Every structure is written in C-alpha cells, then in structure tokens.
Structure 1
Amino acid sequence: MTSIDSSLNLSNTERQREARRVVQSSFLGSVLEFYDFLLYGVAAALVFGPVFFSNLPPTVATVASLGTFAAGYLARPVGGIIFGHFGDRIGRKSMLLWSLSIMGAASCLVGLVPPESSIGPWGAVILVVLRLMQGVALGGEWGGATLMALEHADPKKRGYMAAFVNAGAPAGGIIGTLIMGLFSATLSEADFMSWGWRVPFLLSALMLALGLYIRLKVSESPLFIAAASQEDKGKTAAPIVAIVRSPRTILVVALACVASFALQSTITTFGLSYAVDQGSKREDVLFGFTIGQIAAIVLILAYARLSDRVGRRPVMIFGCIASIVLIYPMFELLKAGGIMFTALAFVVFCIGQNAIYGPMGAFISEQFPTGSRYTGASVGYQLASLVGAGFTPTIVASLYAASDRSIMPVLLLTGAISAISGVFLWLSKETLTRDLTK
C-alpha cells in the first residue's frame, strides 16, 4: 500500500507531472492495442479472403473474412464486463497490464496461423478464436486507459486528456497500415500473400514488451483510491449490477456513440477494399489511409479540447451532421482513385467522425460514479462498438454485392445510423461540469 498511499500525497507540481506521465502511458498503450486490433481489419479487407477463403469467389471471400473481423466486436462487451468488474474492485492499473498481454499474445499468433492450403478451414477457425481474444482484451483496455487519464486530469481538461486514448486508435492504425503498406509495396504479390503480411503481426511481441514496461511505471488512479478507501466491498453490489439497475444511461450512451463506430469500421474495412475494387493500387490506398489517420489524431484532440469549452454534446452532434453530409463526397473521392484523392477522402471522413470520437472518452466516462465507472464506461463503449461496428462491414459489403456494386445502400445505411446517434446525443445529459468525486 505504500506506493498507493504516496500517490495521494503528491504536491500540485508532482501531480501534474504524474498526470502527464499517465496520459503518455494511456496513449502509448492505446497505440499498441489498436495497432494489433486495427491491423487485423486491414488484413481482413485485403489479405484474409484469398489466404483463408481461397475456395470462394472473391466478393464472397471478402464478406467471409470481414465476418471473422466481426468476431472481435462480439467479444468486446464481454471484455468490458470482466475487466470492468475487477477494475472497479481492485484497480485500473493491473487490468491494463492484463489487457495488453492478452492482445499482444493473440496478435503474434495471428501471424503464425497456417493458410487454408495447409490446414483447410481450421485456419479460419483459429482466426476467429484469436480475434475473440483480441476483442476481450480491447474490451478491457479502453475503459481502463481512459479512466486513468480522466481521473488524473485537471477537471477543466478532462475531455482533452481522455481523448489521448482515442487518439491512440488512429496512431496505432498508422503504424500498422504503414508497415503493411511497406511490405505490400516492396514484396512481390506472391511473397506478400505468402509471408509478408504476417510480419506486422509478429512485431506485436516487441510492442508488447514496450507497452508493459511503460505501464508498470504509472501510479493508480487517485479517484479510485479515494473511493476504494471509503467502500465496504463486502456490502456493495457488483459494478455490473449497479449498471443494470439503471439501464437507460447505458442504452443512451451506446446509441449516442454508435455512429462513430459504424463509420469507422465501414471506412477502415469496406472503404479500403472499395478503393482497391475501383482500381486503386493497394499500396496507394494504404498510404492514403495513413495520411487520413494523421489528420485524425489532430482532429480528435482538437475536438476534445473544444468540448472542454462548449460541452461534449454540441461537438458530437455536429459530427453526426457532418458525417451525413460528407459521406457521399468521400466515396466519390475513393472512386476517383490515386493516392492524393484517396488521402483526401480519408481526411474528409475524419472531419465528421472524429467530432464524435474525440470527446467520446469523457462523454461516456463522466456518466458514471467512480465505484462503477470502469464497468459502465467499458460496457457503454463496447456496446456502441458492437452495434455500430461489429457487423457493419459485413452488412455493407453484402449490400454492395447484392446491389450490383452500387454505393447508394452504403450511403443510406451510414446516414441513418448517424441520424440515430444525433437524436440520442440530443436526449443525453451534458457532463462537462460534473463532479467526478461523487
């Protein structure tokens, strides 16, 4: 208990320094987790179809490979409940170490799965199991990392500090996509499809070691410590019970955020394959996507900082409206092809989606009391990700194939989901000034 007690007695200067260290740790840990999770999405869109479903027609193979991608989203709420329970009971930090370890191990193993030509359909089965492990890990990662940043932060900077976790998602996507793009550009098609795509997954071992080293050095959340010292754990209900007793908050939060995930998963999977299908080179699409992700990091933090001034809801509602308006121009730019138009398409996409995603960490977390905040934030976020992203790429790809490769059903679906989120954001409570010590 010595290290925990000492963290409560820091001076203001020391507390600010520790807050910066925690935010850096949350950001870098998120980068590593999302590198693994989103790398799978890129591989599902561009590689897994011909490698693990080579006996199917190309369009059907893409739908099948995106189906394995969806498995991770099914597991994320489970991870949120498990890690959230123990994170609310024994602390945020230890759960983050476990989530990172599970994610790193699963991703390394993805790089070792034999192709269909070697073990038949068992390769796809193994992929699904490993994707489920990734989902469980990420289900616990986001809530813990966000709360560590939020609960160490100055109350006037909570949105901005918490947003570094969400900024880790595009940063991880940049690293994964850039590495995958480099191998795609420098290797022959045969070598890339045979072994080149596996190397980025195997590099997860190095990232796992780095992430664990960073996370071992940060202190536990001061708000959790203060709350834990006042609670009788034998008499308080399990965090998930407290959340279920008031389901309206979870449902409103999840539906308010669902558009962000639907848009993100559509673009990071179907959008990539759509651009290639329209004639763009795979490496041009990957590098264009990377440029878009750089813009995403800047916009996520900018929108989050704005939300610390005007509130979470106004910024996020703007994001829903902008997404509806900009989704058609984005697909037209992808259709035009070439690295410049592809990059611009992904930047245009970020203008709307990141306005929802940037303030989301604070918006969700501020809805719940400290004793059940890890569970509530994790379940709310992961339900939004499951509903919004779990099957959206598969549905979108199926609609595209069934409509004779027309993009109109995709536009209508994503527009409708964005409108739904806008309505529930309007119905939700503003949390900018909420006192998190209560």
Structure 2
Amino acid sequence: MLRLALASLAGTAIEFYDFFVYGTAAALVLGPLFFPHFSALAGTLAAFATFGVGFVARPLGSAVFGHVGDRYGRRPVLLASLLLTGLATVAVGFLPTYATLGVTAPLLLVLLRFLQGLGLGGEWGGAVLLTAEHAPEGRRGLWASFPQAGPAVGFLLANGMMLGLSATLSEDRFAAWGWRVPFWAAGVLALAGLWLRRSVEETPQFRELAEEGRRAEAPLAEVVRGHWRLLLLTGGCLAVGYALFYAVTTWSLAYATERLKVDRTVALACIMVAVAIKGAATPVVAVLGDRYGRRPLCLAGCAASALWMFPMVALLRTAEPLLMTVGFVGALLAMVTMFAVVGAYLPELYAPRIRCTGAAVGYNLGGVLGGALTPIAATALAEGSGPPWGVAAYLSGIALLSLACFALLPETNPRSVRAEAGAAEAAAPA
C-alpha cells in the first residue's frame, strides 16, 4: 500500500505542479506578455480567463479518461494523463509571446491550457482509485488521502521554483525568460512520474469486474442517466474547496502584489507556508474521517469556510506578512477538512463499474463552479480602493451552497454506516 500510495502521490503532485505553475504565472507575468494592449486590470482578468479554461476542460478530461478507466482499467489512465499534461506544460514554456506571434500567441496559450486541464481531469480519478480500491476498509480514507496531498506538494514545487527565480532575477530577466524555467522543468518531472508508475498493478476491484464481464459499456451515459442528481450534488459540494484554494493561491497573490504593493517574494512565501500546513494536515484529517465519518467533517469544513472569509479578507488587507499567513492558513485548514476525505468519499458514492467516471466528473465539476470563476470574479469584485468585502461575501456564499449539497448526501464510511444501522435496530420496537 505504501508503494502504491507514494506512486499515486508523486504523479498527482507532478500533474498539479504543471497546473499550478500556470496559475502563478498568470498572476505575475502572463497578462503583460500575452495581452499587452489591455489595461493592467484587464490584462490580469484575461490571464485569469485562460487560467479558467483549464477548469472547463477538466470535466471533459474526466469523462474521456473515466471511460478508459471504467472500460480498460485504472492503470492506463495514470500514464496517459500524466504524459498529456506534461507535454502541454513544457510547450507553454517554449511559446512565443504577443510581441512575436501577435494574436496567435494568446490563442495557442488557451489551447495548451485546455490540454493541461484535459490531462488533469483524468489524473484525479485514476490516482484516487488506485489507492482507494487497494486499501483495506478501515484505512481507505488514510490511503486515499495520499493523492489529496499531491496538490499541496505540486504547489510547493511550482511556487518554490517561482520564488527562487523571482528572488534571484531582475524584473526584466524574470519577464524575459525566468518565468519559463518552471514550465521546462515539467518535462523532467513528467519522465520521473512515468518511471514511478510503470510497474503499478491494476486494482483488485477492476480485475474482478473484467473477469466477471460486468464493465460498463458507456459509463458516462450510465452516470448521467442514472445518477445525474448525485453528479450535480458532488460538483456543488466541492465548489467551495476549489474556490478557497484558488482565492488564496491565485487571486490573493495578484491582489497583494498589484493592489497592496506587497513584495512578490513575500506574498509567495506567505501562501507557501499556508499550503505546506494544509498538506501536512491532510492525512491527519483523513484518519479522523476513517474514525468518525466523511460527511460530518465535510459539513464542518463548509461551515468553517463560511465563517472565516471576512476575517481572511481583513487579514489580507493589512498587507502584514504574518497576518496574511494566518488568514491563508485558516482558509486552507477549513478547505482540507473537506478535501482530505473526498478521496475516499466520492468513490464510495458510486458503484465500481462507473466509479472512475462518476467520481472524476463530479470532482471536476466542482472545479468549474469554484476554481474557474473565482480568480475572475474576485478580481472584478475587488476593484476599487476599499476592502474587498464583495470577495468575502462571494466565497461565503459558495461555502453555504456546498454545505447544502453535503447535507443532501449520505454517509459512506462503512464503520459509521454500520454504527447507524446498529443504533436504528436497537431503537426499533421489539
């Protein structure tokens, strides 16, 4: 299990590295380089719009790779998705800017971002099912949390490289070529990930489905036709996690550096501390999910998110590094209270024959609702000289929406389900 979990964690970290390095570049340099005739605000909005394209592509990628995972196995998904995302990321690093290609440059940027999202949309389902379907029942949440820690590791890799380059290069050199280096490094990381995953075994549950001839012929159609309500609910549930993460890591970075004039290196360091704490907390929260249930933690995380948004914005507005970090840590701990357990929760909601498609599409629908729009909406709502309370209200509203969706889902942790069944039986009249 440890070898499988580490292979899953490594691949997920590499793919999210590819995805996050684009988000950081969008917040720092892509606007002036690819949209030079826009105002500073419009250029940032345009860069965030290309950032959002990746989220739009993710449900499509989860449908395509989910079909592969449910028909041909979880293992092929792990290899193909990593290769696609890695190639697209490296290509961004070699892409000429508007000054060289004109309008073709931003169009190619959008295309490559779309391919990144397509690959990442397939990664999550394959990586989570690799661990969840191998794991023993009582530790499924713990082992399925390894891929959930991958985004934190990927973010730290991406931004650690950006931070180092930003601190050592002049503004001109960073804009000329420094921002490209993390994209080029994605090629080396992708090769390392493929090497780690080369000997991964197929999951026992898929092998059983294949041997018994019970694989779904058209998994997406089966999910949409028979489980559309569950699909929409899971997308709504996860919207707040995406919204919080990208509000902290993408919008806050742009707002702090452009509006509050916080040094770019300082702002990145504050965010990285918060993400590191989030990553360290992930397995701890997952163990609690195995013990006390998935759904109670998800409800608690949504409630905490709704309550923390106004304090987070107030702390960000101070432009004091320590206070900004406290605000970011609070938001990401609320987020991880949900996301640490969804690696086990979502697959448990779907039958094995459609699990790769259903869980992945639901997960990535949440990305469209919460991740694609948040940097754009928050940037627009923060326009003006006053505190961006509109951003706090927007994020609190998404948290309440997710809370309502989680309230409509059942508990899936086998231990909690058996305990509830036993309590109901004991309470029933003789």
Structure 1-normalised TM-score? 0.92
1:411 and 2:411 matched: no
1:83 and 2:83 matched: no
1:186 aligned to which of 146, 168, 173: 168
Q: Which runs of 4+ in 1 moved over 6 A?
A: none
Provide the C-alpha distance between the structure 2 equivalents of 1:265 and 1:298, rounded to a whole number of angstroms.
19
Distance 1:255 1:64, change over 3 A: same
Residue equivalent to 1:159: 141
Q: Which runs of 5+ in 1 are unaligned?
A: 1-18
1:430 aligned to which of 386, 393, 411: 411
- Residue 376 of structure 1: how far off its partner (Å): 0.6
- Residue 64 of structure 1: how far off its partner (Å): 0.6
Residue equivalent to 2:303: 321
Provide the aligned C-alpha RMSD in A. 1.4
1:131 and 2:113 matched: yes
2:267 aligned to which of 285, 288, 294: 285
Provide the C-alpha distance between the structure 1 equivalents of 2:89 and 2:324, rounded to a whole number of angstroms.
28
Provide the C-alpha distance between the structure 2 equivalents of 1:404 and 1:323, rounded to a whole number of angstroms.
25
SS in 1 for 2:41: helix
2:41 aligned to which of 42, 56, 59: 59
Contact 1:150 1:161 in 2 (8 A): yes
1:248-279 Cα deviation digits (max 9, x unpaired): 11111111121111111222211111111212
Distance 1:270 1:405, change over 3 A: farther
1:36-55 superposed matches below 5 A:
36-55=18-37
- Residue 344 of structure 1: how far off its partner (Å): 2.5
Contact 1:322 1:351 in 2 (8 A): no
Provide the C-alpha distance between the structure 1 equivalents of 2:369 and 2:205, rounded to a whole number of angstroms.
31
Provide the C-alpha distance between the structure 2 equivalents of 1:232 and 1:25, rounded to a whole number of angstroms.
28
Residue equivalent to 2:220: 240
- Residue 391 of structure 1: how far off its partner (Å): 1.7
- Residue 336 of structure 1: how far off its partner (Å): 2.1
Contact 1:284 1:338 in 2 (8 A): no
1:322-381 Cα deviation digits (max 9, x unpaired): 111212222222222244333323212212111111111111111111111000111110
1:309 aligned to which of 267, 291, 312: 291
1:142 and 2:124 matched: yes
- Residue 71 of structure 1: how far off its partner (Å): 0.3
1:403-427 Cα deviation digits (max 9, x unpaired): 5554111111110110011111111
Contact 1:159 1:361 in 2 (8 A): yes
For residue 410 of structure 2, what is the amino acid of its counterpart? K
Residue equivalent to 1:5: none
Provide the C-alpha distance between the structure 1 equivalents of 2:212 and 2:101, rounded to a whole number of angstroms.
55
1:44-75 Cα deviation digits (max 9, x unpaired): 11111111112111111111100000000110
Contact 1:366 1:434 in 2 (8 A): no
Residue equivalent to 2:256: 275
1:421 and 2:402 matched: yes
1:371 and 2:353 matched: yes
- Residue 223 of structure 1: how far off its partner (Å): 1.0
Residue equivalent to 2:178: 196
SS in 2 for 1:430: coil
- Residue 387 of structure 1: how far off its partner (Å): 1.3
Distance 1:237 1:89, change over 3 A: closer
Residue equivalent to 2:213: 231
SS in 2 for 1:366: helix
1:169 and 2:151 matched: yes
1:65-118 Cα deviation digits (max 9, x unpaired): 000000001100110000000111111111110000001100101111111111
Provide the C-alpha distance between the structure 1 equivalents of 2:398 and 2:165, rounded to a whole number of angstroms.
35
For residue 222 of structure 1, what is the amino acid of its counterpart? P
Contact 2:317 2:387 in 1 (8 A): no
1:260 and 2:241 matched: yes
SS in 2 for 1:111: helix
Residue equivalent to 1:6: none
Residue equivalent to 1:27: 9
Distance 1:206 1:405, change over 3 A: farther
Provide the C-alpha distance between the structure 1 equivalents of 2:214 and 2:293, rounded to a whole number of angstroms.
35
SS in 2 for 1:245: helix
Distance 1:71 1:187, change over 3 A: same
- Residue 299 of structure 1: how far off its partner (Å): 1.8
Provide the C-alpha distance between the structure 2 equivalents of 1:375 and 1:76, rounded to a whole number of angstroms.
12
Provide the C-alpha distance between the structure 2 equivalents of 1:126 and 1:406, rounded to a whole number of angstroms.
36
Provide the C-alpha distance between the structure 1 equivalents of 2:289 and 2:167, rounded to a whole number of angstroms.
40
- The count of residues paired between Structure 1 and Structure 2 equals 414
SS in 2 for 1:152: coil
For residue 105 of structure 2, what is the amino acid of its counterpart? G
Contact 1:299 1:350 in 2 (8 A): no
Contact 2:248 2:271 in 1 (8 A): no
Residue equivalent to 2:419: none
**Percent identical:** 36
SS in 1 for 2:349: coil
Provide the C-alpha distance between the structure 2 equivalents of 1:171 and 1:405, rounded to a whole number of angstroms.
34
1:358 and 2:340 matched: yes
